[in-house]
Chain A
Amino acid sequence: MKNILSQMLLPQFHKFYIAAIILTLIFLPLLGLSQYVLRIMIMIGIYAMLAMGLNMLTGYTGQVSLGHAAFYAIGAYVSALLATTLQLNFFIAMLAGVVVAAISSLLLALTTLRLTGTYLSIATLGYGEIIRMILLNWEPVTNGPLGVRNIPRPSFLGYELTLANNGIYYLMLVLLGIISLLCYLIINSKIGRAFIAIKEDELAAQFMGIKTTGYKVLAFVISASIAGAAGSFYAHMIRYIDPNTFTFDTSILMLSIVILGGMGTFRGMYVGAAILIAFPEALRFLAAYRFVVYGLILVLMMRFRPQGLLGWRSSNPYRLSKQVSEMLAQEGNREITLKPFEGKEEAVKG
């Protein structure tokens, strides 16, 4: 049984599994799922996008951001305000949201260039709070605590995409697909190698001729742009936003998905988002205790699987060359007898 299972997980079958999952996701709404389930699936998609973005910064480049909700918020607000006041098309509004999120991350990255580790995390935390305060208090523009209402639904070629006609769901799939592809291409390029080198050892990365500050800023901008896109999509899906959606809790949720799913992996982001978003819903029967259970699960996870659900390398056996593994196999067949240490008693006496 175990053999069949490990056979099924061989890399040559991966493409097949990925195709099967994508097909399932495409045909899923045809099963006549309720709007409630569909909405949860869309939220999972949004958080998978956010996690994907944060993963570029935290999982691959090793810079922990505790204020990523700020870029999510900027994407949502810019896009929502442009769509409500200027009646801009969703896709143009989204592009604007992405650009503004990218610019704001550039400002943050350039001012915190010299910070590393925990200091950087605290700075991003502060930044997240600043953005939330601006949203809350800049009433003439953001409408303060009342939020932005009646955000138009996305429309594509004059066709309005709603939850009922599954349009929103497919839009989420397309966006998630584009973002995943983009991240995949970046990570498998020279830029991605530079990111990973910085995470592994920043000093050594500098010796390789990698302009570490430049690449760290780039990681910030890529990560924030993705969060901006997710924010814009969220705003047009939910159609009402206020500052309470973009709190510190949201930043932490994103980070939890990245860590729980498995930093520096792609599959971990989807699975992490699915679990952390679906769990509170699935645990509704526990009523008041559901967040206690939720917290407990997180604690147990970190105790028993610190590399994340689908994290790898730390769990997989190290890949040895053929010669070495053959040598080890031979040694395994040989009987190893331990000689008792002689002269120990004398040494003690002496």
Chain B
Amino acid sequence: MLKIHNLNTHYGNIHALKGIDLAVNQGEIVSLIGSNGAGKSTTLLTIAGLLKPTAGSITFKGREISNQPPHEIVKMGISLSPEGREVFPGLSVSENLTLGAFIMKDKAKIKTAFERVYELFPRLKERRNQVAGTLSGGEQQMLAIARALMAEPQLLMLDEPSLGLAPNIVAMIFELIQSINQQGTTIMLIEQNANMAMNVSHRTYVLETGKISLQGDSKELIKNQEVKRAYLGVV
């Protein structure tokens, strides 16, 4: 579905991504793990069109997208739930969700998207009139994911959904991610919480200083000595 070949991205003079090769197949959950500054978020922002790659290609369903602006990429079916739960703080939950469906023109479709999202996140339905900035951290993360789902994406990219959340909330969020995937949405997950990410995903890529250092089935990679030592805190 998504193929990335030899992707290079620069921040000014800093060479952030140094030739990344990566593929996401239909129906999968693929996680991308790595430490701070490895280039995880850069990869997502480049796919989303907010950063322009200096070399390499990104194809989505056979179409080159690396030269497309962000709004076109959303229209093609790639949604991003940004890091740090960037919801619109002054708007209500339902207004946030309406904005998530900004690219959709068909009102009936928007209505079904609302129903689907409220079914997945009953908590958001309860709080639909509440101002997003007053939600708890976990609720804001749910809202960020729900908002990304409103555009009915084929590929949902989640940037650090566990960031700053209590362990029981993290477990709940990851359960939700799995059920979203079971409903047919392909997911690309970026995480520092390597253990959680590898537990829910089918395949994992390990990113180190702008390069993919390891890849494979999550079930096998989680047993890998190198991964255990560096990311799982097991000696």
Contacts and interface: CB of A to CB of B under 8 A. Distances in A.
A209 interface: yes
Interface size class for chain B? 20 to 34
Given A197-B88, A201-B88, A211 B71 contact: yes
Contacts of B113: none
A207 interface: yes
A25 interface: no
A319 B100 contact: no
Nearest to B100: A208
A267 interface: no
Given A193-B102, A201-B86, A208 B74 contact: yes
A324 interface: yes
Contact of A321 (B48, B80, B82, B128): B128
Given A200-B88, A200-B90, A201-B88, A207 B131 contact: no
A319 B134 CA distance: 10
A321 B94 CA distance: 12
28 contacts: A190-B102, A193-B95, A193-B102, A194-B102, A197-B99, A200-B91, A201-B89, A203-B86, A204-B82, A204-B86, A206-B50, A206-B70, A206-B71, A207-B80, A207-B148, A208-B147, A208-B151, A209-B70, A209-B71, A209-B74, A209-B151, A313-B131, A318-B130, A318-B131, A319-B130, A320-B130, A324-B127, A324-B130
A196 interface: yes
Given A190-B102, A193-B98, A207 B70 contact: yes
Interface residues of A, number: 23
A207 B48 contact: yes
Nearest to B147: A208
A210 interface: yes
A6 interface: no
Nearest to A205: B99
A330 interface: no
Interface of A: 190, 193-194, 196-197, 200-201, 203-211, 313, 318-321, 323-324
Interface string B39-61: 00000000010100000000000
Contacts of B129: 319-321
A321 B127 contact: yes
A313 B134 CA distance: 12
B69 A208 contact: no
Contacts of B134: 318
B80 to A, nearest CB: 5
A207 B79 contact: yes
B130 A321 contact: yes
Interface of B: 48, 50, 69-71, 74-75, 79-82, 86-92, 95, 98-100, 102-103, 126-131, 134, 147-148, 151
Nearest to B133: A318
Nearest to B126: A321
Given A207-B82, A318-B134, A313 B126 contact: no
Contacts of B81: 207
Contact of A200 (B48, B75, B79, B89): B89
A207 B48 CA distance: 8
B71 A210 contact: yes
Nearest to B91: A200
Given A193-B99, A318-B134, A319-B130, A211 B89 contact: no
Nearest to B86: A204
Nearest to A200: B88
Contacts of A321: 126-130
A211 B92 CA distance: 22
A199 to B, nearest CB: 8
A210 B79 CA distance: 12
A68 to B, nearest CB: 24
A203 B87 CA distance: 10
A323 B126 CA distance: 8
Contacts of B75: 209
Given A320-B130, A324-B127, A196 B91 contact: yes
Contacts of A207: 48, 70, 74, 79-82, 86, 148
A343 to B, nearest CB: 24
Given A208-B74, A208-B99, 7 more contacts: A196-B91, A197-B88, A204-B86, A206-B50, A207-B148, A208-B151, A324-B126
Nearest to A190: B102
Closest 6 CB pairs of A and B: A209-B74, A200-B88, A209-B103, A204-B86, A209-B71, A211-B71
